[in-house]
Structure 1
Amino acid sequence: MNMITELQIMDRISELPTFWKEKDEELQKEFDELKLIDNNLVQFRNELKLGIQKWILLVRLKDVEGSSYLVNKWTALVVDVEGSSSLVDKWIGLAVGNGVKELHIVVESSPHESAYTLPQAIYSAKLLTTLVLNGCRLDEPLIAINLNSLKNLSLQRVYANEQMVHNLIAECCSLEDLSLRYTLGLKFFSVSKAHKLKNMVIVDYSRSSELESIVAPSLQQLTLVRVIVVATCPNLKKLHLSEIVLEDQEFHELISKFPLLEDLSVSSSQPLERVKFSSNLLKRVAFLFCRSLRAVDLDTPNLLSFTFESVRIPTISISASHQCPWNVFFVHEHDVGDIDNWYLKLKEFLGASNQIENLLINLRSVNIRQMPFDLEEFKNRSPSLPFQVGNMRLIVGMEVPIQEYKNLMDGIFWICYPKNLYLPKQFNASSQFIEWLLELLWNRNEKCCKSCPIKCWRHYLKNTKTASFLPNGDARPINIDNWRDRLPMLPDGYLRERLPTLPDGNFKLNLEWCFPEHDA
């Protein structure tokens, strides 16, 4: 049998202004061509017996001067939707009749318009393996559901009640991946017969759904966004929770239901304050901008990766493998306290690991003038040497006097010393800071504190080995080592004039230090 791998229906008048008279004439021509396409599809089926492997249809219901539009995914085909819905039904029927394997139907409509209702033929697509529905309506089937080959089902902004969705999933005996995003009309929901289900994503923007239960013994990966569910998934290995309202006890009770969990990610869970659990199987853990989180205590000896991103720096204790890299991202905001205490908490946090692979510090919102920093006081409060990190990306976006930059970097380099320092160039203020820091690193003065028992970072920086600029995207790196060699011969302000000519990107500096190693 011949095979059409992907069927598309196209035209080119979507960009014409709606007020052109000629457009109305073109609409009629397009409607005639639409009928021609319909006839051709029928001909393909009846005469050539073509099979369709993948079919994508985008329908846009948009009220513009009383007209509606049918728009193909790639280019626009403008017709009257009310007059062509039967043709869309027929196309879907033809696709199903020709053994379509992947079917994507997207309907865009304004809130006051009725949703397009899918034809009954959709329930008899016995060879269909992937079904993606967006913005349409699913009515109760009048025929037996025959979707035995369906492995991937995605419902987004689909109008359907819970019984309809439950019946649909129950008849998909091969279902492996299920995605429910903003499904309208779904109040209570239970999954119990999808015995092969491995991956499930549930997103509820309005928080209106109450998922009664998920009983899926084979489920291995679960993502919940703004929805809480009682889950019976003893084989679950990956769990992602986002924007979930969970108190500490509720969180720990939920985690305890998944004894085989290997991958845990929690993002934007605001009430969560203290996390404490143990697992010999967990390999990856991530907490992303859980702003209320104050304490993390994990006993995870086989952990392979830990990621933490937040504005608040919690106390932390993790028992993990020495080979477990940490990826840390902190943003300083005005409401998290003065810069001295923030620095102190950051140093204590980094000291809990011997392998900080990536560290990002964002100080764009810090007003240093209102938060003065005293290095000597900071060293007295935290006399231990700084900790080594692999890659540090430092974002400083405010324009302040040079002395304030000095205080800022004295604190940063007493917290940690990076092997590779990345300085993002994103706006004018960052250029001023980068200019100052490049000159400081290339021409540092080591006579500043020779008489002090605890010296500053300048005495431990041996060399800035390589320097390059990495433009965003796929552009080739720009070598800037020659800037350093030429700097003494260049006029004042050369870097200030040169930096704005560069595109957005990152300066990369490879730094050699001679700090004594911390005891393991």
Structure 2
Amino acid sequence: MDYLSGLPKTILHDILARLPYKDAAKTIALSKAWRDTWSSFPNLYVHYRDFVSRYDLPLKNSHRFSEMDILIDYVTKKSLRLRDQGLAIKEFKLNLFFLLDPPHGLSHHVDQWIQIASESGVKVLELYLSNGSFGREYSEGIWYDLPLCVIEAKSLTKLVLAGGIRVDQEFLNHSMKFSSVKMLSLNHVLFSHEGVIDHLISHCPRVEHLTVVYCSVYNHLSIEDPQVDRICPVKSLFLNGLQKLKKVDVQGIEEVHIDSPNLEKLCYSHFKLGGAFKLNFDTCRKLRCLCIIDVNSTTIADKWFRELFSKYPLLESLELCNCSMSEKISIFSSQLKVLKLHHCSNLNEVNIDAPNLLSFDYRDYKNPVISFLRGSNQLEVSVFTNLHFRGSYTLRKFIENIPQKILASLSLFIYESLPNYRYLPALLVSSTPPSIKHLDFRAPSVPYTEAFYGPVISFLLSCCFPKTISFRCGGCYAFIEFFYEMLMGSKKGECYCSSLNSKCWWHALKIVNISYSCSFMIDENADFKAVLDASQKSGGMESITFSLEL
């Protein structure tokens, strides 16, 4: 007996909502009960790739949009059927994002679908429309005008507008009713007037999560002067009086002012627009997480860090990515738990005094001097770096400057290799280097010829003694086999240190254990080379990890 089909419709709908939409639709083949469940399913998700191949679409001027006709017919019939049965459309998601040009006449149908959804109490409305507007001159035909009926959707809790959508000035003349919206996302949306975006956001008093990404404004001066760009980035954003706001993500806006006392997370990306940036969130005293990306400013220096941690005593997570800053910074915080510094130019020295720091993630081709004055016993340190001549010269010095207590938690990731390998012999050191937790060698960092395998391995193991070393397998099976044979002894005579008077310390290393991450079963008694050969043929091996000891 099929007990599942006898469950209440609300539970069956919840089951369908947890499945991929295409799989949920296939349940109509199970039984009449499931067909009835699908016909009343209140969620409508439409992705262009389920109907149209982005590479097989006819030209814009062609009338043969057969695949699009199928899409239009499906959405129209489904929405009308739900409306005629008196059923709500709880979620409507339409994704046409990668169609470079919207098919002629589609706007009329989208208007109709949004109208039906708005009138039936839609809670989630997500529109990912044409990206044909990106990087192109202003053209009326490639923008979809958001209909005013969206204002009537009083039940909305989530509104996402992305790509090729224009919000007209008429929205200023109507009273917004977005009193239930908790999540608002505006991505590459064109506003006809500078005040429309502030007006829209300010009428979402319960918004908790706000995203504004590279939105634009129509430049009315371009009508008089054809040399002036017809669209330009939104210059400023003012977020005031949003008491519920907890998370903000803003990208591509020069000036941002936030007055939201309950804000907990802020992510800001200037994207190096060329001008100065201004980010004011002084009143957000409950801030716990701050992420700043692509900011080119010398203001990020010791004074900036001192003021940051004094203003926001609850700040637990700080991430700086692709930011210019002073050559030396000092971070003092008793509350900080997560610190990420990714590709920060000019940075040569970092001093960290954070007794509760649990995670430190550093990524760059440079290896600055990093000093830990204090740190948690649970601290995990991850360093991602390239293997090139300058980095090679400073890598061991970089490791030696880290206290042994911290080194025990250090994972070193080599993710790209751009060296002049003939200089590596001059950098070799025969004495035992500092011990670290883990060394991870990514496929792009593998030397392009076997002649350099020995020098690279010798150099890395002269910089650090990893308790475990992993190799990401894509394209580097020969390198992994070479490393295995060197440690097992068959290639030790070919080690690059054979030209030195003393042998490398790591000749005494032993392989304690070899573990695999793969998609196929491995016989625990299988020979390593047999496993490697099988993996190379199937492509099912993700990584191989060696546990080492002296």
Q: What interval of TM-score do these two structures reach, taking the shorter chain for normalisation?
A: 0.7 to 0.9
**Secondary structure of residue in 1 paired with 2:117:** helix
Map of 1:237 onto structure 2: 288
Map of 1:193 onto structure 2: 241
Map of 2:156 onto structure 1: 128
- Pairing partner for 1:163 from 195, 213, 219: 195
- Pairing partner for 1:255 from 308, 314, 321: 308
Task: Say if 2:167 is the partner of 1:138.
Answer: yes
1:9–1:299 distance in 2 versus 1, CA, 3 Å: closer
**Secondary structure of residue in 2 paired with 1:87:** helix
| 1:492-503 mapped onto 2 (5 Å cutoff) | 500-501=536-537, 503=539
- Pairing partner for 2:211 from 176, 179, 183: 179
Q: Write the deviation string for residues 237-293 of structure 1: whole angstroms up to 9, x where unpaired.
A: 001111111314374366244222100111111344322121111011111122421
Query: Equivalents in 2 of 1:348, 1:277: separation in Å?
Result: 17
Map of 2:58 onto structure 1: 18
Map of 1:216 onto structure 2: 260
Q: Write the deviation string for residues 278-326 of structure 1: whole angstroms up to 9, x where unpaired.
A: 1111011111122421111111111111111111111111221122111
**Secondary structure of residue in 1 paired with 2:425:** coil
Query: Equivalents in 1 of 2:64, 2:256: separation in Å?
Result: 53
- Pairing partner for 1:389 from 436, 441, 462: 436
- Higher helix content, 1 or 2: 2
Check conservation: 2:58, 2:65, Cα contact below 8 A.
Answer: no
Query: Equivalents in 1 of 2:59, 2:416: separation in Å?
Result: 51
Gaps of 5+ in 1: 70-79, 488-493, 514-520
Task: Say if 2:42 is the partner of 1:5.
Answer: yes
Gaps of 5+ in 2: 1-8, 11-39, 218-233, 272-276
| 1:258-407 mapped onto 2 (5 Å cutoff) | 258-318=312-372, 319-334=374-389, 336=390, 339-349=392-402, 351=404, 353-362=406-415, 364-375=417-428, 378=429, 385-395=432-442, 396-399=445-448, 405-407=453-455
> Number of aligned pairs?
466
1:273–1:442 distance in 2 versus 1, CA, 3 Å: same
Query: Equivalents in 2 of 1:361, 1:28: separation in Å?
Result: 46
1:91–1:279 distance in 2 versus 1, CA, 3 Å: same
| 1:31-180 mapped onto 2 (5 Å cutoff) | 34=72, 38=76, 41-42=79-80, 44-45=82-83, 47-59=84-96, 68-69=102-103, 80-81=104-105, 84-108=106-130, 109-110=132-133, 111=136, 112-114=138-140, 115-135=143-163, 136-140=165-169, 141=171, 142-160=173-191, 161-180=193-212
Query: Equivalents in 2 of 1:144, 1:159: separation in Å?
Result: 20
Task: Say if 2:470 is the partner of 1:441.
Answer: no
Moved more, 159-168 or 349-358: 349-358
Moved more, 361-370 or 124-133: 361-370
Map of 1:30 onto structure 2: 69
- Pairing partner for 2:297 from 243, 246, 250: 246
TM-score (norm: length of structure 2): 0.74
How well do the aligned residues superpose, as a CA RMSD in angstroms? Answer: 3.7
Please state how far the C-alpha of 1:55 moved relative to its aligned partner: 0.3
Query: Equivalents in 1 of 2:47, 2:363: separation in Å?
Result: 45
**Secondary structure of residue in 2 paired with 1:369:** helix
**Secondary structure of residue in 1 paired with 2:216:** coil
Query: Equivalents in 1 of 2:76, 2:306: separation in Å?
Result: 56
**Secondary structure of residue in 2 paired with 1:440:** helix
Query: Equivalents in 2 of 1:393, 1:105: separation in Å?
Result: 41
Check conservation: 2:58, 2:64, Cα contact below 8 A.
Answer: no
Query: Equivalents in 1 of 2:155, 2:367: separation in Å?
Result: 53
Query: Equivalents in 2 of 1:217, 1:235: separation in Å?
Result: 7
**Secondary structure of residue in 2 paired with 1:353:** helix
1:178–1:188 distance in 2 versus 1, CA, 3 Å: same
Please state how far the C-alpha of 1:405 moved relative to its aligned partner: 4.2
Identity, in percent, stands at: 23
Q: Write the deviation string for residues 162-181 of structure 1: whole angstroms up to 9, x where unpaired.
A: 42121222221110000011
1:414–1:169 distance in 2 versus 1, CA, 3 Å: same
Check conservation: 2:306, 2:332, Cα contact below 8 A.
Answer: no
